[in-house]
Amino acid sequence: MKTIRFDIISIFPGMFESPFRESLLNKAQERGIVEIRTHDLRDYTLDKHGRVDDAPFGGGVGMVMNIEPIDRALEAVKKDRPKAYSILLSPGGYRFDQKKAWELSGKDEIILVCGRYEGVDERVSELVDEELSIGDYVLNGGEVPAMVIVETVARLVPGVVGDEQSLAEESFASEMLEYPQYTRPRDYKGFQVPDVLMSGDHKKIEEWKRQAALRKTAKHRPDLYRNIQTGGSE
Ligand code: SAM
């Protein structure tokens, strides 16, 4: 059975308790498919007051996380898992997407380093395999981005999501968004479900789903739509 382990380094390890104790991720941990460990960065600082940050060289606002506690925490985790793939969460990193999630789901061990304050000393990027951003916006810390990556990657590991066919059909599985879905009631305050879905004609339904997915992609994600039109050459 394929398993995956995540080690998360953060100054707020408590933030991960509740999100990882619910739903499919909790079940996957109970079944031993997914293992998640958190590490308090303050356990690795040599500063007697537990500090992990300092003022930036050259001036500037806010504080920057020191390299030393991060290096020591990474070394401690890597002692038992020398082959673990390490990632620094950073708005300046490469953009995380579904393709990257599939790639990471093939790894056995992943370390996620969460920044805070104004970010981390740039030299930390030399200590990790990759820097990833979850999107073009800035959060207060790397904890929520780490949760996003754990959940997105873990659900691609066989056995985590009950029906794996749903992974093949969902948004981004084929460079476009998923087709619109409906359930009861057929008429809600005048909002109707498309007749074709009740026709029982599977060929027609499949064609409708394909066209509806294309229309939705063109409307919400013209960037993806252009890529489909040009066969990915843009
Ligand atoms: N001064 C930094 C900048 O302008 O790029 C932003 C630092 S942010 C307030 C603090 C930490 O939150 C970062 O070190 C990173 O770990 C995390 N973070 C914030 N936004 C993120 C994003 N979009 N993707 C990944 N991590 C993010």
Give the domains, in start order, of the chain with CATH numbers: 4-154 (3.40.1280.10), 171-229 (1.10.1270.20)
| The pLDDT of residue 175 | 85
Mean pLDDT, to the nearest integer, of 137-144? 98
Q: For ligand 1, is residue 10 a contact (CB within 6 Å)?
A: no
| The pLDDT of residue 166 | 85
Q: For ligand 1, is residue 141 a contact (CB within 6 Å)?
A: yes
In sign, the C-alpha dihedral spanning 74, 130, 26, 15 is: positive
Closest CA to 122 of 66, 53, 41: 66
Give yes or no for residue 203 having a pLDDT over 70. yes
For the stretch 56-65, what's the b/e string if a residue is b when 16 or more beta carbons lie within 10 angstroms of its beta carbon? Answer: eeeeeeebbb
In sign, the C-alpha dihedral spanning 136, 140, 141, 143 is: negative
Tens of pLDDT along 14-62? 999 999 999 999 999 999 999 999 999 999 999 999 999 999 999 999 9
CA Rg, the chain, in Å? 22
51: which 2 tokens?
Answer: 């500090």
Pocket test residue of 90, 114, 150 for ligand 1, highest count of atoms within 8 A of CB: 90
Mean pLDDT, to the nearest integer, of 92-116? 98
Mean pLDDT, to the nearest integer, of 116-138? 98
The alpha carbon of 142 and the centre of ligand 1 are apart by a number of angstroms equal to 6
Q: Are 12 and 52 within 8 A, CB to CB?
A: no
Percent of the chain residues topping a pLDDT of 70: 99
Backbone dihedral angles phi then psi of residue 85, each to the nearest 5 degrees: -90, 120
| The pLDDT of residue 233 | 63
Backbone dihedral angles phi then psi of residue 149, each to the nearest 5 degrees: -70, -45
Three-state SS at 170 = coil
Q: Which residue has the higher pLDDT, 140 or 229?
A: 140
Q: For ligand 1, is residue 120 a contact (CB within 6 Å)?
A: yes
